[in-house]
Amino acid sequence: MAQIGQILVDVPTMQTNDPYSYAIPAEWEHQLQAGMRVIVPFGRGHRMVDGVVVGVSDVTSFDGTLKPIEAVLDLSPVLNEELQRLADWLADETFAFRITCIQTMLPNLLKTKTEREIAPLAAITPAEKAQYFPDGEPRPFDPDKLDDGTVANLLKLQRAGKVTVLYHVKNQAAAKTTVGVAPLLPPAKLAEIQATVAKRAPKQADLLAYLQQMVPKQPQPQAKVVKAAGISSAVINTGAEKGWLEKSTLEVYRDPFHQPVKPTQPLTLNPDQAKAVTAITAAIDGDETQNFLVEGVTGSGKTEVYLQSIAVALRQKRTALMLVPEIALTPQMVNRVKARFGEQVAVLHSGLSKGEQYDEWRRIDSGAATVVVGARSAVFAPVKNVGLIIMDEEHESSYKQDETPRYHARDVALWRGKYNHCPVVLGSATPSLESRARAAKGLYTRLVLPKRVNDRPLPTVHIVDMREEMKSIGDSDFSTPLVSAIQERLDRHEQVVLMLNRRGYSSFVMCRDCGFVLKCPNCDISLTLHMDSHSMKCHYCGHEEAIPKICPNCHSHKIRYYGTGTQKVETALQAQFPTARILRMDVDSTRRKGSHERILKQFGNHEADILLGTQMIAKGLDYPNVTLVGVLNADTALGLPDFRASERTFQLLTQVSGRAGRSTKPGEVFIQTFNPDHYAIQLAQSQDYERFFVTEMAMRHQGSYPPYYFAVQVTASHEDEAVAAKAMYQIVDALKLDLSDQAIVLGPTPKAIARVKRKYYYQVVIKYKNEPDLKAGLEQIRQAAQIPARHGLAVTIDPEPMNFM
DNA sequence: CCGCTTGAAATA
DNA sequence: ATTTCAAGCGGT
């Protein structure tokens, strides 16, 4: 009986979200497996698309003639059983297309690219041929690059049977290769030949000697043989001609670690750490899935707990997956894992080239790498037999992907933990309210590390009331206490970290006469001043224009800059402390690849006294000489229309405070704020996470917000504001039919930034506890959104959105 | 009445 | 996503 393959085609639409049946050609019978990539004809022409096999069977419910699979791209599945099931779950959970989920899980290089060419056929007239094919050859066909008239004419010729479209599907997944050399003869035979080679061919003798101590049929890179045997490549060629050895193509792995790291040994644990490791170890051994929330103050040695737990999993011949928020921001963490576990560590993140990503992926897939460290998408790493999953800084919002599939890596990690019967360890100094609440309900086992290692004290935190300070210092960014604290550190040759909280805040231009603010023509947000490029830039769409000298509205010359940017602060800071060496770290100074690490390294080497940066400096820095942390504006995020504003502020302040006093010297923190009485700021001062948790939970309860309620956000966008708004109202009306009166519907409302990239955004947020029909209702919305999607109306569904704005 | 434009439907 | 099919409309 002929086999039939169930193929998910790479056409992300609702109509093609279910697999199509294809005949499996005889040569692939019993070879083709679910999880392999294929190329199939799809559509009435001879169009080829790529697809993924999701099943192989003998029957199909489709009664028509099956087309055969055109080509098979993999010799073994690129998605194992676990990842196939995960893809289905993910699609269901996030309202995304199944093929989109699969693409998200695979490294970029495994996505095939289709190229089209248009070629003349026999029926074409000489005049037409001369016009469209001047050199008589097929030409690339990309409707986006050709003008509309040409495209229309070519399509007309196609209908007339005068030209045809050719498809070329390219598999980009080319492994980097090098020439390999392997002995063809057994060592004894080689020794025999060595005795007979001419005296004037000493290099051939050297080669033979080297080949003898190689394992037959095990190729080594030619470059290595050349170097080790002290010969030139010409001798290798001679050896190949004489049949001593065989040259082959050898796959090499690109190594993303550019510098070697010194190996480390496990450190001695304090009692709290030891207790945590013991609990996690027991869970790795046990069959029941038990998950943990490790709540450790900054500097409490969470990383060592992770590392020793990973070691336990490895000892049991299992693998470990460790997630970190953004790898570029935490090079120190990666280095520590690499130092402990060496070669078996694979690193996955967007800073690697596509080739490097693919190679790391293959090392994991082949089992060569057993410890994976990576950012969000590494949660899909093809590790098998996982023994432990760790998510560091679990509260970080970067774990949530804000494009389809809108998954949260935490949920995926928990799914995989359950599948693999292994514990998931969520770690943070300031856990998300969701996770802490789940721990309170007993869903996670809480492991608390209340003390810093070696009993170092937490830094002393001072709150500076900027309302008072303004009276004496005017609109300077530095309060008197902070200035003297900085001066003290400069005198003592200690280092300072200054953070400028820029979330929801930037330097904009405003006219003092009429109040006009320069805005982006495409998006409804104010443009930000950039002194380095002498221009105004939009941070949403990249629009750039000249700095105005007169107000475009009232022609006044009193158009001035308001707000504070890192560049402006840097200038002011340098004026205040002329001798201080200042390093600036923000989106602009770290745009180039590797510049981030370079800045951190410079600071670590004490090539600068002050590190000034945005929230990206709050994470993971561990520099013993830093004894002062200053937060210039703590409360810019507090006013944002987002129920997580307090939580984010508290987390940020606690994280950044933890950068001070990591070594023997005590640390001090100054938080400048206009809201000194706000509980998020007060409790960040006492670094009292538990009090914050209780207080904030009360707020959430009062406002019916997560974690008391689930939330789902539906957004509609269109160039025409009325179209977006109308669509949103229709969606809400439809959804209300599926909701009980327990559910709370917020909106429809325009988004806080109503217009981005020339599109207007309207949204609705539904808060609910138990709505059995909601999922089906949302599914219907998704179905219905297919048709107007072609008219530029985009509808997205985001379960548990991170941004309510 | 035909050809062209435009939108909907099908793709195995 | 791309192609084919079908309906609408303006010119012959």
Q: Is A101 annotated as a binding residue?
A: no
Is the peptide bond preceding residue A405 cis, with omega within 30 degrees of 0? yes
Mean pLDDT over residues A633-637, rounded? 76
Residue A563, CB, strand C, below 7 Å: no
At A612 the pLDDT is 87
A13: nt with nearest C1' to CA: C1
| CA separation for the pair A231, A202 (Å, rounded) | 10
Which CATH architecture group holds A710-798?
2-Layer Sandwich (3.30)
Q: pLDDT band for position A20 (50/70/90)?
A: very high
As a rounded value in angstroms, the CA-to-C1' distance for A143 and C7 is 26
Q: Is A554 annotated as a binding residue?
A: yes
Q: Which helix (H) or strand (E) holds A228?
A: helix A222-229
Residue A161, CB, strand C, below 7 Å: no
A19: nt with nearest C1' to CA: B12
As a rounded value in angstroms, the CA-to-C1' distance for A348 and C3 is 39
Mean pLDDT over residues A501-516, rounded? 63
CA closest to B11 C1', residue: A43
What CATH class has A460-506+563-684?
A: alpha beta
**pLDDT higher than 70, residue A485:** yes
Q: How far is CA A378 from CA A372, A382, A695, A765, in A?
A: 8, 9, 34, 29
pTM of the model: 0.83
pLDDT in tens, A678-701: 899 999 998 889 999 999 999 999
Task: Name the residues in A383-412 having a C-beta closer than 7 Å to nucleic acid strand B.
Answer: none
pLDDT in tens, A350-408: 778 888 888 899 899 989 999 999 999 999 999 999 999 999 999 999 999 989 899 99
pLDDT in tens, A198-239: 777 777 777 777 777 777 677 777 777 777 777 777 777 777
Q: Is A551 annotated as a binding residue?
A: yes
| CA separation for the pair A322, A619 (Å, rounded) | 16
Q: Are A596 and A585 in contact (CB under 8 A)?
A: yes
As a rounded value in angstroms, the CA-to-C1' distance for A617 and C4 is 56
Q: Are A379 and A362 in contact (CB under 8 A)?
A: no
A114: nt with nearest C1' to CA: C1
Which residues of chain A are in CATH 3.40.50.300 domains?
Answer: 271-453, 460-506+563-684
Task: Name the residues in A24-53 having a C-beta closer than 7 Å to nucleic acid strand B.
Answer: 40-44
A101-115, A175-189, A397-411, A626-640, range with greatest mean pLDDT: A397-411
- Topology of the domain covering A271-453: Rossmann fold (3.40.50)
As a rounded value in angstroms, the CA-to-C1' distance for A118 and B2 is 29
Residue A12, CB, strand C, below 7 Å: yes
Residue A577, CB, strand B, below 7 Å: no
A787: nt with nearest C1' to CA: B8
As a rounded value in angstroms, the CA-to-C1' distance for A140 and C12 is 38
Q: Is A422 annotated as a binding residue?
A: no
Those nucleotides of strand C lying less than 7 Å from any protein Cβ are 1-5
**pLDDT higher than 80, residue A648:** yes
Strand order in the sheet with A582-585: A460-465, A668-673, A626-631, A495-499, A610-613, A582-585
Those nucleotides of strand B lying less than 7 Å from any protein Cβ are 5, 8-12
CA closest to B5 C1', residue: A152
Residue A60, CB, strand B, below 7 Å: yes
Mean pLDDT over residues A614-643, rounded? 77
Residue A67, CB, strand B, below 7 Å: yes
Which residues of chain A are in CATH 3.30.70.600 domains?
Answer: 710-798
As a rounded value in angstroms, the CA-to-C1' distance for A169 and B3 is 36
Torsion of CA A311, A313, A318, A320, to 10 degrees: -80
**Count of Cβ atoms closer than 10 Å to residue A229 Cβ:** 18
A67: nt with nearest C1' to CA: B12
**pLDDT higher than 60, residue A574:** yes
The helix/strand/coil state of A588 is coil
At A525 the pLDDT is 67
Which residues of chain A are in CATH 3.40.1440.60 domains?
Answer: 2-111
Residue A44, CB, strand C, below 7 Å: yes
Name the amino acid, one letter, at A12.
P
**pLDDT higher than 90, residue A267:** no
Q: Are A566 and A612 in contact (CB under 8 A)?
A: yes
Task: Name the residues in A140-159 having a C-beta closer than 7 Å to nucleic acid strand C.
Answer: 158-159
Residues with Cβ < 8 Å from A107, sequence gap 6 or more? Answer: A354, A357, A358, A361
Residue A11, CB, strand B, below 7 Å: yes
Residue A97, CB, strand B, below 7 Å: no
**pLDDT higher than 50, residue A505:** no
A16: nt with nearest C1' to CA: B11
Mean pLDDT over residues A663-675, rounded? 84
Window from A260-274, A290-304, A511-525, A742-756 with minimum mean pLDDT: A511-525
Residue A151, CB, strand B, below 7 Å: no
A156: nt with nearest C1' to CA: B4
**pLDDT higher than 90, residue A413:** yes
DSSP bridge partners of A463: A671
At A328 the pLDDT is 66
The domain A2-111 belongs to what CATH superfamily?
PriA, 3(prime) DNA-binding domain (3.40.1440.60)
Q: Is A520 annotated as a binding residue?
A: yes
**pLDDT higher than 70, residue A340:** yes
| CB-based burial, A679-711: b 16+ in 10 Å, e otherwise | ebbbbbbebebeebbebbbeebeeeebbbebbb
As a rounded value in angstroms, the CA-to-C1' distance for A137 and B2 is 35
Residue A784, CB, strand B, below 7 Å: no
Q: pLDDT band for position A504 (50/70/90)?
A: very low
CA closest to C5 C1', residue: A44
pLDDT in tens, A306-328: 999 999 999 999 999 999 997 66
| CA separation for the pair A12, A139 (Å, rounded) | 28
Say what percent of chain A tops pLDDT 70: 87
pLDDT in tens, A710-732: 999 999 888 888 888 888 888 89
As a rounded value in angstroms, the CA-to-C1' distance for A526 and C4 is 47
**Burial status of residue A539 (CB atoms within 10 A of its CB: 0-12, 13-18, 19 or more):** middle
Q: Which residue has the higher pLDDT, A548 or A508?
A: A548
pLDDT in tens, A29-68: 888 999 999 989 998 877 888 899 999 999 888 888 999 9
Q: pLDDT band for position A263 (50/70/90)?
A: confident
A6: nt with nearest C1' to CA: B12
At A177 the pLDDT is 65
As a rounded value in angstroms, the CA-to-C1' distance for A56 and B12 is 14
As a rounded value in angstroms, the CA-to-C1' distance for A110 and C12 is 55
Output helix, strand, coil percentages for chain A, rounded to the nearest 5: 35, 25, 40
